[in-house]
Structure 1
Amino acid sequence: MILLQANNVMRRFGADVLFHDVNLQIQEHGRTALVGRNGAGKTTLLKMIAGITSPDEGTIAKSKDLTIGYLAQDQGLDSQNTIWAELDLVFAPLHKMEKQIHQLEDQLASLDPSTRKFQLTTEKYSQLQADFKKRGGYEYESRMRGILKGFGFEEDDYQTAINSLSGGQKTKLALAKILLQSPDLLILDEPTNHLDMNVLAWLEDYLKSYQGALLVVSHDRYFLDRVVSDIYDLDNHTLRHYTGNYTQFMEHKQEWLTAEWKHYEQQQKKISKLEDFVNRNIVRASTTKRAQARRKQLEKMERLERPETDDKSIHFRFYSEKDSGNEVLDVEKAVVGYNDQKLAGPLSFTVRKPQRIGIIGPNGIGKSTLLKSILDRIPLVSGTIKLGANLQIGYYDQEQQQLHPEKSVLNEVWDDHPNIAEKDIRSLLGSFLFVGDDVYKLVHDLSGGEKARLELTKLSFKPINFLILDEPTNHLDIDSREVLENAINEFNGTVLFISHDRYFINQVATDVLDMNALGIKHYEGNYDNYLEAVNKEKATNANQDESQTTTTKPKKSSAQQSYQQSKETQRARRKLQRRVDKLEEEMTVLEEKQEAIKEQMSQPEIATDIGKLSDLQKKLDKFTTQSEDVELEWTSAAEELEKFDQENS
């Protein structure tokens, strides 16, 4: 059954069209995502579907009596009530029924059972009780407790005034309230903001079993992979539908784009041939009729549009001028906090070149404080931090306090590099999508996404061999997150980062540090590897049979198995690719050394010195042998990579 249908919807902003010819269907029990670049119009479309605004053209039809719950991005509860009292308002109709039930009970107690009035009152009482039970009258308190616990609120928090909470807590409560309302269609705009990983996992499971339909906008690709089953892509001012989760959508979109280009190019070749025939033969008496026939064929032809996508994307890389030592960071029994007030610890761990380590843990536990202590911006309560030799540190601050609010975008970068020409600064800014007059915007007028791009701009401009990132994917759209992932994977230095973006951690991490108030624990691999290890630990702690512990694995659906296999394949390929790239770099270095020696040997003062020539020849022979060995190793690695691609294509 179709709950909601958008037909040929359009939205204009002045003379510009934000989107057009938008067609969308929401099925009963559907799990639908709306994706697209920042600024494509996703939130605008959600508001139309929710009935808050109307389209400039087209229609949005809804099934009879459809109830819709809409949660805007970062929309928190604004209330003078306590947490429990505010959420309890959802069940006001049940409270009214409950009051009526008690009133009828009092009436029945005072009536003679043999009277007609007693019989009618009893029937009314029974019907009201049945309705009360059907609507969840005996379960609403347990539902409230379950949802509050899922969002990280304990019973001690229930009587806390909402206006005393943080913005993130208010947003979680707004989401909790709308879930309790259980509308037929739940519309959520970036619901995963401010949620730590435990809450995210709970929310994903809750939404998968939700009885109504779901329409969601999210940049959290892991969330989309776990929850949704079809995706609408708002791209190039219109909407296209794909079946599957996010990973499957990306594959299908690439297949569609490849096919569209093939059809377009085939038609262009056909048009070119027809036009060439017409131009050569239209004036010749013997062939003019055939030329006229081909001209008519051209006129009747329905020409395909050139396939286009919103391909504006940042592009950059991190670079280093020198290698760090192998020992990058040693943290020993560190206790982090403010003004001697402990947040977490003792924490002990090491970072070695070229690890890419992700730090995870509950919100507010002190992860950002730990990074600032490593950078000597906040002193430790106790313990030691030792940085390695030859470090060039680059730091991304999620609070973006390193940016000067009164500076322009151009001066924010140029003031740090006054000797570089303005055109070169503007060229770099252009690669981060700051073009034209954008470079004159003041920092305090920028959006969160623009500030994130500006901070990455500054990082890409300085030499770095140790990159420290605090929630770098916040405010970035999906395309920009993927560009950042590529930049980190191509970076030959060391990376230490905090992130709640599980998809991002899967793409870049070689290790995970799980931090809590009492310590920090190291796990090898990415986020999926971390989950697997934690599940094994839980099984062991439950004292299950040893054979069961080693052989039993959590049951996975075919979709989960396919997703897991895809992730493992991607990890294996990246490992092979890194080996090939490393050997190519070694070959280049050895070739440069050989050329340098040959240049020395050709100099007149050395060419006549047999002793120096002999020494240089020995060095040249040594580098030549090394180069041949590396080339053989590279050939083997390249063949292995090619074979891998063939087997997994």
Structure 2
Amino acid sequence: MILLQVQHVARLFGADVLFKNIDLNIQENSRIALVGRNGVGKSTLLKIIMEQQPADQGEITKTKNLTIGYLAQDTGLASTNTIYKEMLQVFEPLRKMEQKIHQLEQQIASASQSQTAPTKEYQRLLAQYDQLQHDFKEKNGYGYQAEIRSVLHGFKFNEEDYDKKITSLSGGQKTRLALAKLLLEKRDLLILDEPTNHLDIETLNWLENYLQGYTGALLLVSHDRYFLDKIAHDVYELTPTAAVHYSGNYSAYINKKKLRLQQQEKAYEKQQEKIDKLEDFVKKNIVRASTTKRAQSRRKQLEKIDRLEKPKNQQKGPRFSFTAEHSSGNLVLSVKQAYIGYQKKPLAGPINFELRQKQIMAIVGPNGVGKSTLLKSILGKIPFISGSSRFGAQVDPGYYDQELHNLTADKSVLNEVWDDHPTMPEKDIRSILGSFLFRGSDVAKIVSQLSGGEKARLLLTKLALNHHNLLLFDEPTNHLDIESKEVLEQALLDFDGTVLFVSHDRYFINKVASQVLELSAQGGQLFLGDYDYYIAKKAEQQLLAAQAAEKTATTPTNQEKQPTIPADYQERKQQQREKRKLERTVAALEKELEELETAADAIQQAMAESVNYTDPVKIKKLQTQLTDNQQTQQQIESKWETAAAELEKLE
């Protein structure tokens, strides 16, 4: 069933067209990725679907009673509640149902005590109670609090965080909470605009697994290629003139798009060849009396041809490269026994590694462990708590700040670059800016008015012009579209210098890194390979650790006496422990049976009393108690028989 349709939608700004003729169908259980270069209008289309912006043409149709959850890009949860109280609001109908169940229990108990025989009101209360309990169970009434804890834990909120006020959280934490609340709400359609922002790799993996089991439909905008490959079943590429549909995940989309463009080019070339032949025939034969009729026939054929448009090459993306002005020594950077943090409170340490010429090293780890702090400490912006770092001979470092602070807000794009290189001719500056997609009047834009992607490209422009031989990047792909990421990947692979970077982009890490440094509170661990190698080695380490823990649990702790202990000593000790445990279990079960038998005798005596057996309500209640008692006795006797049999084997 189709949940939502986008039909011939357009967004115009005066005579300028952002996009037009957009068609998109979302069905039950759809997993749709909306892709396209920065500025094409992906977020705008989502806002039109959510009726936050108008469509200038076309319409959006939705199925009746459709519920939609929407996470805008970098939107945080705004609330004065604590974290846990805010999540509980999602389940307010269930909590009211729970209160109603307790109220009915009290009403039923009161009715049973005041009536000598069942009444219609009593039966009505029982029926209502049974139905309410059934509905409560069906809607996970007994498990919603565990569900809240599970989702909060997935987004790195522990129980000690539950009572924190949301107003006290960082922007990234508020965004994660907004997404957590949306997941708990279980809407029919979930629309997420860049949901992977502010998530570390561990949380990304958790989110991917959660969304794979999500029961509703998904419409996603993301630049995370690993994420799209794991989640998407369909891809719509948004262009200024259409939304082109491809079945499959992101990798399938890339392959199918390439094939489609090749087919379009072949069809166009074949048609052009046919047109050229017809036009040539008409030109040569239209004036000859003997061939004029055939020429006229060919002319009619030409007029009837539905001419294909020449396939447009992809709009040119950024083109840039990094080159070093001079080479560094072989040892580029050395970090020894380093502890990083603030105000003498360490985040991670000890950290030890060496970075050599032409190596590309990625730094990974959970949010808050100090990855950005490590880069700033290496550059001397934040002091190490202890330990040190040292650059090698002839090293000239350049730094890309994820907050994009290395730009001057009130300068124009042109002056931001030209002021750093005043002797360079203006036409050369404009040419370089053009290769980073700042063309024409774009160079007059003020830096503070640029989008995140534009600021990122401007900062990359400045880095490229400075010709450093060591580049330090802090989340360089955060604001880039996928095509720009691919250009950056190739530029780093072609770079004749050395690179150290922090990133959560797993595809990017895998493409460019030759080493991965994992940071944790316990320090740094170096893996000599790409991201896939790092993941494989981590899995291997976890398996070995689990095996070692299992072995330790069954290994005697007194190592000095170990050689003199007989081979079967530990086995006999274990049997004795099990025997004592079973003896205690059997004794406890026998005592419990005695108590149940005494209680059963008391119930039977009460049932024999005339004051009770002549009262239908009382006798029914006593019979219920006796039945429950007998069932419990049967369960306890079964446990006793099992325990007694096991004990007999050890005698």
Q: Which TM-score band applies after superposition, normalised by the shorter structure? A: 0.7 to 0.9
The offset of 1:281, in angstroms, is: 2.0
Q: Alpha-carbon deviations, 1:594-638, whole Å to 9, x = none?
A: xxxxxxxxxxxxxxxxxxxxxxxxxxxxxxxxxxxxxxxxxxxxx
The offset of 1:544, in angstroms, is: 7.6
1:525 counterpart letter in structure 2: G
* Aligned 1:138-537 pairs, distance under 5 A: 138-308=142-312, 310-537=314-541
Structure number, greater radius of gyration: 2
* Aligned 1:19-168 pairs, distance under 5 A: 19-111=19-111, 112=115, 114-168=118-172
CA distance in 1, matches of 2:218, 2:6: 15
Please state whether the residue corresponding to 2:466 is helix, strand or coil.
Answer: coil
Q: Alpha-carbon deviations, 1:411-453, whole Å to 9, x = none?
A: 1111111111000001000101111121111211111111100
Q: Do the aligned partners of 1:152 and 1:199 also contact (CA within 8 Å) in 2?
A: yes
Please state whether the residue corresponding to 2:388 is helix, strand or coil.
Answer: strand
The offset of 1:250, in angstroms, is: 0.7
CA distance in 1, matches of 2:446, 2:40: 23
Q: Which moved more, 1:355-364 or 1:372-381?
A: 372-381
The offset of 1:48, in angstroms, is: 2.7
The offset of 1:7, in angstroms, is: 2.4
Q: Do the aligned partners of 1:37 and 1:310 also contact (CA within 8 Å) in 2?
A: no
The offset of 1:206, in angstroms, is: 0.1
Please state whether the residue corresponding to 1:304 is helix, strand or coil.
Answer: coil
Q: Do the aligned partners of 2:268 and 2:311 also contact (CA within 8 Å) in 1?
A: yes
Q: Do the aligned partners of 1:235 and 1:310 also contact (CA within 8 Å) in 2?
A: no
The offset of 1:483, in angstroms, is: 0.4
Please state whether the residue corresponding to 2:153 is helix, strand or coil.
Answer: helix
Please state whether the residue corresponding to 1:193 is helix, strand or coil.
Answer: coil
CA distance in 1, matches of 2:207, 2:395: 41
The offset of 1:195, in angstroms, is: 0.6
* Aligned-residue CA RMSD (Å): 1.5
Aligned residues with identical type, % of pairs:
58
The offset of 1:329, in angstroms, is: 0.9
The offset of 1:343, in angstroms, is: 2.3
2:176 counterpart letter in structure 1: K
1:35 counterpart letter in structure 2: V
1:71 counterpart letter in structure 2: L
Please state whether the residue corresponding to 2:334 is helix, strand or coil.
Answer: strand
Please state whether the residue corresponding to 2:238 is helix, strand or coil.
Answer: strand
Please state whether the residue corresponding to 2:79 is helix, strand or coil.
Answer: coil
CA distance in 1, matches of 2:218, 2:243: 18
1:379 counterpart letter in structure 2: P
1:275 counterpart letter in structure 2: E
CA distance in 1, matches of 2:144, 2:13: 44
CA distance in 1, matches of 2:41, 2:380: 42
Please state whether the residue corresponding to 2:547 is helix, strand or coil.
Answer: coil
Please state whether the residue corresponding to 2:390 is helix, strand or coil.
Answer: strand
Please state whether the residue corresponding to 1:543 is helix, strand or coil.
Answer: helix
Please state whether the residue corresponding to 1:322 is helix, strand or coil.
Answer: coil
The offset of 1:309, in angstroms, is: 5.2
Q: Do the aligned partners of 1:236 and 1:309 also contact (CA within 8 Å) in 2?
A: no
The offset of 1:75, in angstroms, is: 1.2
Please state whether the residue corresponding to 2:88 is helix, strand or coil.
Answer: helix
CA distance in 2, matches of 1:300, 1:215: 41
Q: Which moved more, 1:508-517 or 1:99-108?
A: 99-108
CA distance in 2, matches of 1:408, 1:490: 30
Q: Do the aligned partners of 2:83 and 2:163 also contact (CA within 8 Å) in 1?
A: yes
Q: Do the aligned partners of 1:50 and 1:187 also contact (CA within 8 Å) in 2?
A: no
CA distance in 1, matches of 2:10, 2:389: 57
1:78 counterpart letter in structure 2: A
1:59 counterpart letter in structure 2: E
Please state whether the residue corresponding to 2:430 is helix, strand or coil.
Answer: helix
2:106 counterpart letter in structure 1: D
Q: Do the aligned partners of 1:332 and 1:347 also contact (CA within 8 Å) in 2?
A: yes
* Aligned 1:541-580 pairs, distance under 5 A: 541-543=545-547
CA distance in 1, matches of 2:295, 2:13: 46
Q: Which moved more, 1:502-511 or 1:442-451?
A: 442-451
Q: TM-score, normalised by structure 2?
A: 0.82
Which residue of 2 is the match for residue 618 of structure 1? none
CA distance in 2, matches of 1:531, 1:157: 29
CA distance in 2, matches of 1:463, 1:34: 36
1:326 counterpart letter in structure 2: N
1:278 counterpart letter in structure 2: V
